[in-house]
Amino acid sequence: MQPLSSSVNQPASFRETVQAFLPRFRFDSPFFIRLRHWEYWPFAVVYFPIFIYHLWLSIKARSLFFFSAANPSIETGGLLGESKIDILDRISDEFKPKTLFVTRQAHIDVVLRQVSELRLTYPLIAKPNVGERGWRVEKIEHWEDLVNYKQSSPADFLIQEYVDEPLELGIFYYRSPEPRSDGQAQGVISSIVQKEFLTIRGNGLNCIEELIMQNERAILQLPALKAKYGHRFHDIPAPGETITLVSIGNHSKGTKFLDANHLITPELTRVFDRISAPIVGFYYGRYDLRCRSVADLYAGRHIHILELNGAGAEPAHIYHPGFSIWKAYRVLFHHWRVLYDISRANHRRGVAYMSLREAIQFWRRMQRGKKA
């Protein structure tokens, strides 16, 4: 009898074990997509070095809440929980869409009447008056959607006209509180991000579900896309047909953020000096806007500011696909140093820092608002 092969009864090699193990994992799964792209990592993980730097700046400023002095006219300086309507009210009507503030207690019949009186037409945008990272920002297609949004809203919210301009940008702007010797405003545009909405493009062969599964950003939005488009998943778009899956320009909803710093020019800085000068108590933040073209942007025409974010704003071009996390840290550290310098300058001019007691009261009020 021939002896059995020596490979029989021996443990599988390391390579065979790995090959048998790997098929259990899909590298196009949400977990691995997030793992491979730092832009999707949890906020606390990405910002841990920034937290350490914040502590160092706090020691120098002798206040954990030095940032609250950056924008004296915005609660907490705009780091967290600021009222969107309070900030929008400070911006010239020339540069913002029609906006209606709705309290949580308002009756829906009153809201619908106000929408009509303001001559707002569908679609509309609804968003919480206090909120961040795309929380409950929705496109309202019909009055029935508005009724549903109102009934499910736990807090005050805004209704804005939907601005259907092709170019959506986030423009980070800051200026010194110290007046120049010539009395002229002179700010700095330090970041421009261009937002590219989540879309799929038909090829005449694949259905909507298959096209979504070929797009990593779309895969991360799969639960929301199933809820919205599940009834159309087996439709096959025509060759070249583009379907916009999400029309909200927020990174957490699948929008791609592109580095558009090449648009920064002295001409554009003068435009935002003109927009910012009348906003008393604003020195540091990011304008989120839509406009018709780059030419109109430089001319200061057809600019619609959707939001102005304060101390908590990010120079969002760092989320450009492939942007190095080490480059991102250099950008973030620079902006936090600017935030510190502006806050200190305002403090020297008599602006008080938020106290620990005020911070606790504010946090409790914010939590009550979310649970209401």
Pair 236, 205: CB distance under 8 Å: yes
pLDDT of residue 362: 83
How many angstroms separate the Cα of 217 from the Cα of each of 193, 214, 255? 18, 9, 8
Nearest Cα to Cα of residue 136 among 318, 145, 144:
145
How many angstroms separate the Cα of 260 from the Cα of each of 6, 164, 189, 193, 273? 63, 20, 12, 5, 19
Burial class (CB in 10 A: 0-12, 13-18, 19+), 354: buried
pLDDT tier for residue 312 given thresholds of 50, 70 and 90: very high
pLDDT tier for residue 8 given thresholds of 50, 70 and 90: very low
Kindly report the backbone phi and psi dihedral angles of residue 82, in degrees, each rounded to the nearest multiple of 5, phi listed first.
Answer: -75, 150
Separation of alpha carbons 309 and 235, rounded Å: 40
Highest mean pLDDT among 2-6, 109-113, 163-167, 264-268: 264-268
* Paired strand residues for 285: 173
Arithmetic mean of pLDDT over the chain: 88
Average pLDDT value for residue range 345-351: 96
Nearest Cα to Cα of residue 263 among 165, 167, 166:
167
Point out the least confidently predicted range of 94-108, 173-187, 245-259, 282-296: 173-187
Q: What pTM was computed for the model?
A: 0.86
| Side-chain half-sphere exposure of 196, counting CA atoms within 13 A | 13
pLDDT of residue 252: 80
pLDDT tier for residue 136 given thresholds of 50, 70 and 90: confident
Percent with pLDDT over 70 in the chain: 89
Residue 32 pLDDT > 90, yes or no?
A: no
Pair 148, 159: CB distance under 8 Å: no
Average pLDDT value for residue range 47-68: 97
pLDDT of residue 134: 67
Q: What region does 216 belong to: left with phi over 0, alpha with psi -120 to 50, or beta?
A: alpha
pLDDT tier for residue 2 given thresholds of 50, 70 and 90: very low
Other CB atoms closer than 10 Å to residue 149's CB: what's the count? 20
Geometric angle at alpha carbon 207, from 31 and 215, rounded to 5°: 30
1 or 192, higher pLDDT: 192
Other CB atoms closer than 10 Å to residue 96's CB: what's the count? 21
